[in-house]
Each structure stands twice: as C-alpha cells, then as structure tokens.
Structure 1
C-alpha cells in the first residue's frame, strides 16, 4: 500500500510540474482589448496582412520561374505606426518561413533558436528575411520526398506549385503595455520546364 501511495504522489507531482512548466512557457500578457492576433488582422492584398501598426508581407519576385532559375523569396515585417521607431523582442528572427509543394503535398517547416533578441524597427523601413531551405519536415519516408528534399537542399526548385508562408511572432515592448503579435501570410509561385 505504501509503495502505491508513494508512486501516486510522484506521478501527481510530475504531472503538476509539467503542466505548470508548459503553462509558464506559453503564458503571454495580452491586454483584454488588444487587436493583435491573426484573427483581427486586415488583409491588404493576397501577399500582405496588417495587424495594428505592423504589416507582414511574403514576396516572390515572380509568379513563375523556370527550372534552374534562382527563386527569390523573402518576407518583410514593417512598422507603419506614428512613432519614429519601436522595439520588438523575438526568437532568433521575428519571421519564420515554411514551404509547401502542392503537387506532391510535401511541406517543409523551419526551426528557430529561442533566445530573446530585441530589434528596433524604424517607421517605413522593413525588416527582411530571405527564404533559406531548412530541411525540416514531418514526412521523410517516401522516394518523392527524398528527391524533393535533395533538390531543395542543393538550392534548386524542381518543377511544381509552391506555397511559401511567413509567420511573424514578436512582442512590441515600446509602451508599458507589452503586446504580443502573431501574424501569417502566404504567397504562391510555380516552377516550370
């Protein structure tokens, strides 16, 4: 009986410790009237979204590329508010970019270090993040995946229809009310023979 009681105590303690840790990691201070999440964002056009004083864009320099041609993609986060500059905090970058190839239904995410970095955004001047293949995927089992992975890792986009998604996660720490932002926007392009 004593053994079971001690085991139950240990399991309950671990359970409480784990749930508190996860809760603390995910805790974000948000004012109750804050309009800073994706659901309250305004879509400016198909490749950009605005949330309060911030605009996130996902840009491909062309809608269609030829196999072997350099594909130029980047995301831009711009502060469009009234102040000359503001300070945001974020992980290694305020923007992460993922890739999905529609024909094969294969997607590649991104991994980001989680230090707390601050960046000053000046009014009208965008922070830009160029797309670089990360190789992070949840499906590495089939031949088609391996072929696509190897080509993208070598910097070559094979024939296909692609969707790039930029996700911005950052906190505006300029005012006394720290506001957390989560924004997302996508763009698509084709690579043809």
Structure 2
C-alpha cells in the first residue's frame, strides 16, 4: 500500500506544480508538461492497481480446477480415544476460499477417574502435519522441543487453534515446493488445493508416552 500512497502524492505534487506553472506560462507549454509528465505516472498507477487485485498465490495456477472439484471431502471432524484421553481434530469448514483463514483445531480431554492430571509436552501438545495432495507438497509443522507441562481437569477439554507454520528448503523437497511454502507463509489463508491434515496430541503422563492421532481434510478453491 505504501507504493500507492507515494505515487498518488507524486501525482498531486506534479498536478499542483502544473497548476502553478499555468499561471505563468502559455497553454501550449502547460499541455506539453501534462503530456510528458502526468501521462506516464497515470499509466503506472493503473498498472499497480491491476496488480494489487490479482491472486496473491501465483502457485494457484498449478492446480486443475476440474480435478479439484472432483475431490470429495471425507471428514472435517475426527475423534480418537486412548486410555483416559480423547483427542479431537477439526476443520471449521469443508471448503475455504483462497486467502480466507483456514480454521483448524486440536483438542484433548481427560476422562479418567482423577480430578485432574498433569501432562508433559513440547512447546505445544498438538501437531498438525498438512499435505496438499494434488501437488504432493507437505507443509511441515515445526515445534520447539522445550519441556512444558499443564494440568488437565477431568471432562474439561483443552483446545488450541492451528497457527501457520511450515518448514521449507529441505534437501529432498520436490520442485516448486519451496515457492509453495513461501507463498503459504507470506499470505493469508492457503493456496488453492485439496488438503489432508494428520493431527496428533503428543504428551507424557508419569513417564508414559501418548501419541493420539486423527485426520481431517478440506479444499481451498
């Protein structure tokens, strides 16, 4: 947006200068200035306005819209129980627009006999591994392995919302993957595609490890 403000300011400056100049010079001289100074600036403003309205995800062009339309969504909610814990993974919608915020949630609930239990985990107890199936691109989920803990009260779910996170520049990444991840991180929402999310709650209780998984999918058109 800064470029637009700068160009409009220059336009006003030129226009004001010409109006002042008009007081002192002939109409012919003024028209020459308008032709050779204002017209190129006007063309530049129109060009930038057109660029600003284009899709921010250049990688969208690599998806066949008809193939995407044929993709069927399996489920937007998944629930898995292991011992005294329930893990839930959910997407708010089956389909999102390009640039729209994708709402994914991970949730864990303790259903044991104790009033509460303490779990140990990394930076977060949740992991969201996402793959865009039509391109075959994986969006890794980096989590700091710092030791943390929290108490879970019986039958009171703890939930976290997915925040965009990705790993790029891996040695074995397929062609185009790095550009895709950069576009994913630089803009709101997700690029057009069909996404499968493998989520998990990863934590420990009194030394016993838990890795409870679930899976959902959604489309971005």
Query: Shorter-chain-normalised TM-score: which range?
Result: 0.5 to 0.7
After TM superposition, give the deviation of residue 48 of structure 1 in Å. Answer: 1.4
* 1:19-98 mapped onto 2 (5 Å cutoff): 47-98=78-129
SS across alignment from 2:219: strand
Counterpart of 1:166 in structure 2 is 199
Residue segments in structure 2 that go unaligned for 5+ positions in a row: 1-75
Distance 1:140 1:156, change over 3 A: farther
> Within 1, Cα distance between the matches of 2:85 and 2:97?
33
User: Deviations for 1:124-156, whole angstroms, at most 9, x for unmatched residues?
Assistant: 22222221222214454523x234213320232
Mapped to 1, the partners of 2:89 and 2:77 lie a distance apart of 9
CA contact (8 A) 2:77 2:88 kept: no
Alignment counterpart, residue 188 of structure 2, candidates 155, 165, 177: 155
Paired residue for 1:28?
none
**Does the Cα contact within 8 Å between 2:200 and 2:211 map onto a contact in 1?**
yes
Shift of 1:179: 2.2
CA, structure 1 residues 53+99, in 2 after alignment: closer, same or farther (shift >3 Å)? same
1:46: how far off?
Answer: 6.0
More strand by proportion, 1 or 2? Answer: 1
Aligned partners of 2:198 and 2:146: how far apart in 1? Answer: 22
Once the 2 structures are TM-superposed, how far is the Cα of residue 63 of structure 1 from its aligned partner?
1.0
1:146 alignment counterpart:
178
Higher share of residues assigned helix = 2
The answer as to whether partners of 2:86 and 2:109 remain within 8 angstroms in 1 is yes
What is the CA distance between 1:157 and its match in structure 2? 0.9
Structure 1 unaligned segments of length 5 or more: list them: 1-44
1-side partners of 2:142 and 2:93: how far apart?
Answer: 26
The answer to whether residue 142 in structure 2 is matched with residue 108 in structure 1 is no
Flag as ranges the 4+ runs of structure 1 deviating above 6 A: none
Q: How many residues align?
A: 143
- 2:148 is aligned with 1:117: yes
Q: CA RMSD in A?
A: 1.9
Task: Quote the Cα distance in structure 2 between the aligned partners of 1:66 and 1:113.
Answer: 31
TM-score scaled to structure 1, two decimals?
Answer: 0.67
